[in-house]
Amino acid sequence: MLWLRSVIYYLFLTLIALFIGGIGGAAWGLGFALGATLLSLWFHLYNLGRLHHWLQHPNVDTVPSSFLLWQEVFDKLYDQIRLQKKAKERISSTLERFMSAGEALPDGVIILDEFDRIEWCNPAASQHLGLNPIADVGQQVTHLVRHPQLREYLKTQDFSHPLQLRLNRQQEQLLSIQLVPFDSTRKLLLTRDITSLDRVQTVHRDFVANVSHELRTPLTVVGGFIETMQDLPDMDVNTRNQQLQLMYEQTQRMQRLVEDLLTLSKLESGQQLREEEVDVPQLLQLLLTEAKGLSQGRHTVSIASSARAKLIGNHDELHSAFGNLVSNAIRYTPAGGSISLAWELRNGQGCFCVRDTGIGLAPEHIPRLTERFYRVDRGRSRNTGGTGLGLAIVKHILQRHQAQLAIQSQLGQGSEFAVKFPLQRTLD
């Protein structure tokens, strides 16, 4: 070991001094010992100074070098600095990965200190709560997000359940916020945007309520007639037949509603679209025949134009979508009116159109027509046999074909429903 060699070195110098003293006298030995001592002192002070200078700007690449005991000190220092540098690099790399992962999270993450001051937040939290991830560090979160519910939630320190916070900005936003402690003083404030989930739940509740309402009326009618027939077994034939006919119509209405619900459920299940070449001119002739059968001579139904182009899509789904548009035109066009069908090419894009001279629509109703169970006139819709799901089915079918529905209508002057298909689905 170097320290042992240093001891041996000084013992060797002492022996030389004694030897010189024995030969040349005590003065020579004392002089040599004093010189060696001063040289050794200078050597230690010099290396101590180099160490002090290096400590002012420590760097693993500039660790001094020497010999004997000082070399061992510098070597140990070099090893320690190198290990610390590697540990620091590992910690920096881990912290960088943690920060990158935190910034990539879709949920908001805010680190709060014991006084609810912001130490760090990711972009999602910044977007959810309108925070500045740089300027707002050190600020109390309740000073930046002024909401009584949030202030009370942080005050109670209740970590068992999340808080639902509704914010009214440019668009209404619903956030789920939860506190999670992770050491004795700090805690995480997690935020999640559940606006879409809340809307889905609202739609689901409305859907269940609408289905229940739509089924309740025909069931009430059928149940009432059955009860009347049970109470009056000797009812005359004409009255009985009339009630049986009404019961049949109501059961047909329920059957159409169930069929439309099943169709809508199938479309929303996300099943892969089975594509084929659809002969639209031939489909147009089939729609014309069906429309005349539904009209029973009360309207003038015609094909205004029929291009030769075909489509890539699903024949049955397109038949259902187009058929819904045609049947709606017949239902809402008074007797004596006209309905025209057209298959055209507009800038290379296939376009199916249904035009009628019916009752038309007010502008405020047009954006909501494809909503489930939305009706402009509920009483008239039920009288015409509609289920309120037809245009919702049309919307889902068109989405599966990357098509768009354009509606033009004026109250009392008729409507035009046009389905525009993308270029890649049109075959000239």
Dihedrals phi, psi of 390, to nearest 5 degrees = -60, -50
* Last residue within a domain, chosen from 82, 99, 116: 99
Mean pLDDT of 114-129: 88
* 289 lies in some domain: yes
* 198 lies in some domain: no
User: Do 212 and 143 belong to one domain?
Assistant: no
Q: Beta strand pairing status for 163-168 and 300-306? A: unpaired
Distances (CA, A) of 295 to 94, 291, 299, 412: 73, 6, 6, 20
Give the pLDDT score at 18. Answer: 53
Domain residues for 244?
203-268
Mean pLDDT of 136-140: 89
Number of folded domains that form the chain: 4
Q: Which of 59-68, 106-115, 119-128 has the lowest mean pLDDT?
A: 59-68
Contacts for 292 with CB less than 8 Å, ≥ 6 apart: 301
Burial 289-302 (b: 16+ CB within 10 A, else e): ebbbebbeeebebe
User: Do 304 and 423 belong to one domain?
Assistant: yes
339/302 Cα distance (integer angstroms) = 7
Taking only the tens place, the pLDDT of each residue in 98-110 is 777 777 888 888 8
User: Do 94 and 135 belong to one domain?
Assistant: no
User: Do 326 and 236 belong to one domain?
Assistant: no
Question: Which amino acid is located at 247 in the chain?
Answer: M
* CB-based contact 178:163 (threshold 8 Å): yes
Give the pLDDT score at 340. Answer: 93
* Last residue within a domain, chosen from 62, 80, 99: 99
* 39 lies in some domain: yes
Give the pLDDT score at 2. Answer: 47
pLDDT above 90 coverage of the chain, percent = 14
pLDDT at 271 over 80: no
The residue among 148 and 20 whose pLDDT is bigger is: 148
pLDDT at 87 over 50: yes
- Coil, helix or strand for 175? strand
User: Do 180 and 287 belong to one domain?
Assistant: no
249/251 Cα distance (integer angstroms) = 6
CATH number for the domain spanning 140: value is: 3.30.450.20
262/211 Cα distance (integer angstroms) = 12
Q: Which of 7-11, 268-272, 329-333 has the lowest mean pLDDT?
A: 7-11
pLDDT at 380 over 60: no
Q: Which of 101-110, 163-172, 351-360 has the lowest mean pLDDT?
A: 163-172
Give the pLDDT score at 164. Answer: 86
The residue among 37 and 119 whose pLDDT is bigger is: 119
User: Do 250 and 319 belong to one domain?
Assistant: no
* CB-based contact 102:115 (threshold 8 Å): no
* Last residue within a domain, chosen from 163, 193, 223: 193
Nearest-5° angle of CA 183, CA 187, CA 189?
Answer: 155
* 263 lies in some domain: yes
Give the pLDDT score at 389. Answer: 79
pTM of the model: 0.54
User: Do 63 and 151 belong to one domain?
Assistant: no
Mean pLDDT, the chain, whole residue set = 80
Taking only the tens place, the pLDDT of each residue in 44-77 is 777 778 777 878 888 877 878 877 677 777 788 8
User: Do 313 and 177 belong to one domain?
Assistant: no
